[in-house]
Amino acid sequence: MAHDYAVTLNRDPGLDQGDERLTVVHADGRREEMRLHEYDRVYAVPGLYEEVVQRELDCRSPATLADALVGAVDRAGGDVAAIRALDFGAGNGVVGEELRARGVTGTLVAVDAATGSREAAERDRPGQYAEYVVGDLADADVPRLVARHGLTCLVGAGALGLGHVSAAAFDAAWQAFPVGSWLAITVTDDVLDPDAGDLSAYVARLRAGGHGSEVVHVERFRHRLRMSGEPIHYHALVARRVG
């Protein structure tokens, strides 16, 4: 897609993901420097998220997660088309688009904390989400969303770890789903260390059959490149609510 701005990445080595920065020079000469994790600013510039995250940094989380979920539902003899998912940390809708590309026709609902995320999703993927709640997952009233839209799946790419969604908010959201529902998440590498904090302890229990869940798929994959070029690895995890 052609854009009326130029973007350059700060390729300094050794930066944490949360410190990676980019500079946008707009057609009128206006210059904006932002951290990649300043999602509200990134989403405000049409095409910038795709240009930087999907193309330059070759992010594979949404596609890998959608493949893992669809594969698990298929193997269980489920109906992929009928998946009705809550996409948390949905951003401008890349995960929803990957689900649609794999035949999911059921209702998609989104939650994201970034100001402007709903407008960006509507601008970039109009009509994809039946409802889009802007706010922290902790405040999103997930039981209402599940009941209102008959949701059967909780999905989240890149939203767990690095100080994004808390373990408590994630737990409350997943507990709101009925037995038989699917969970599909990507988690940062450190979240797999059971001693690395609340979220990692939660995921460790989940993997051991806790939280009323059975984990059916775990896969390590290359999430994306750092701006300096080194790979970042995440894990994709798919589970089913059994109790």
Ligand X SMILES: C[S@@+](CC[C@H](N)C(=O)[O-])C[C@H]1O[C@@H](n2cnc3c(N)ncnc32)[C@H](O)[C@@H]1O
CB of 134 to ligand X, least distance (A): 9
Choose which of 109, 121, 151, 165 interacts with ligand X (CB under 6 A): 165
d(CA 28, CA 18): 28
Stretch that binds ligand X, among 82-90, 99-107, 123-131, 198-206 (CB under 6 A): 82-90
Instruction: Write out the two tokens for 161.
Output: 């770890």
Under the binding rule (CB under 6 A), the answer on residue 170 touching ligand X is no
Interaction of residue 47 with ligand X, rule CB under 6 A = no
- Cβ proximity to ligand X: between 31 and 55 the closer is 55
Nearer to ligand X, 196 or 243 (CB): 196
Binding residues for ligand X, rule CB under 6 A, total 21
Burial 50-86 (b: 16+ CB within 10 A, else e): bbbbbebbebbbbbbbbbbbbbbbeeeebebeebbbb
Q: Which residue intervals of 132-218 are DSSP H helices? A: 142-149, 167-175, 198-207
Q: Of all residues in this chain, which one has the CB nearest to ligand X in the complex?
A: 89
Beta pairing class for 153-160 and 182-188: parallel
- The nearer residue to ligand X, 114 or 239, going by C-beta atoms, is 114
* Contact with ligand X (CB under 6 A) among 20, 51, 67, 112: 112
The Cα–Cα gap between 142 and 170 comes to 10
Least Å distance between CB 118 and ligand X?
Answer: 11
Residues contacting 220, CB < 8 A, separation 6+: 189, 233, 234, 235
Q: Both tokens of residue 53?
A: 């995250």
Query: Contact residues for ligand X (CB under 6 A)?
Result: 39, 61-62, 88-91, 94-95, 111-114, 117, 136-137, 157-159, 164-165
